[in-house]
Amino acid sequence: MKQRIITSSFLACAAVMSWAAPIEFDFKDPKGVNNIVFRTDAPLESINGTGTGISGTVTFDPEHPGAVKGKIVLAVASLNVPNPKMKEHLHGPDWMNAAQHPEINFELAGTKNVKTEGDNSSVEAMGKLTIRGVTKELVVQVKMTYLKDKLKARQGREGDLLVIRANFSIKRSDFGINAAKFEEKVSDIIDLSLSLAGSAPRN
């Protein structure tokens, strides 16, 4: 009898541990909806564009949102602006240099000031942003929404979703992107807006 109680307790603990395990979310969206919006507002021109080549994985524990970790990657070749000539320059060697530096990535190092209410968590994400081979540390305010069992509504299969939203600014001069040039048309400050959904299917 005693052995049965011990075995039952062990199985119950194992089930709880399994349920509470961190979940890995894949941010390569098969629907192609994930995107990063960028904007520069210079005296002569305001330029808006998008980047849709998103990939990367994030590990998230619904019980401990502040323990989130992972890496988000953006393919430079997916950066798009409405003007074809401007897009050509954007991908070229003087600007983003897509041939030599095909990826932009943000690697999460830790979080602070975690606030959770229901399925929503707000954190200050501390990480390293790499653009054109230059890496800078920065802190970004991030909102994470954990949507249990909602993958089916988006992709038609069982699983969970993690939605990440953030708005922040960087300076192109910090990353050697034509620093101190053409600032009347392309501002040094670039505003970024992220709206990304990661999927964790269950087989």
Q: For the whole model, what pTM was predicted? A: 0.86
So what's the pLDDT on residue 30?
86
Q: Does residue 6 register a pLDDT over 60?
A: no
DSSP state of 87: H
Nearest partner of 199 among 18, 21, 56, 29, judged by Cα: 29
Mean pLDDT (the chain) is 90
Distance CA 79, CA 2 (A): 64
Name residues whose C-beta falls within 8 Å of residue 141's C-beta, 6 or more positions apart in sequence.
Answer: 122, 123, 124, 125, 166, 167, 168
Report whether pLDDT(16) > 80. no
Q: How confident is the model at residue 31 (pLDDT cuts 50, 70, 90)?
A: confident
Q: Is 36 exposed, middle or buried (0-12, 13-18, 19+ CB in 10 A)?
A: buried
| 172 DSSP 8-state letter | G
Band the pLDDT of 14: cuts 50, 70, 90: very low
The pLDDT value recorded for residue 4 is: 53
pLDDT of residue 5: 44
pLDDT band at 1 (very low <50, low <70, confident <90, very high): low
Average pLDDT score over residue span 136-163: 95
The pLDDT confidence band at residue 15, using thresholds 50, 70 and 90, is very low
Residue 28: pLDDT band (50, 70, 90) is very high
Tens digit of pLDDT for each residue in 44-71?
Answer: 999 999 999 999 999 999 999 999 999 9
Per-residue pLDDT band at 172 (split at 50, 70, 90): very high
Rounded Cα gap, residues 106 and 142, in angstroms: 13
Q: How far apart are CA 19 and CA 160, in angstroms?
A: 13
Q: What is the mean pLDDT of residues 132-147?
A: 97
Q: Which of the 8 DSSP states describes residue 5?
A: H
Q: Is the pLDDT of residue 182 over 50?
A: yes
pLDDT of residue 21: 85
Kindly tell me if the per-residue pLDDT of 13 is higher than 60. no
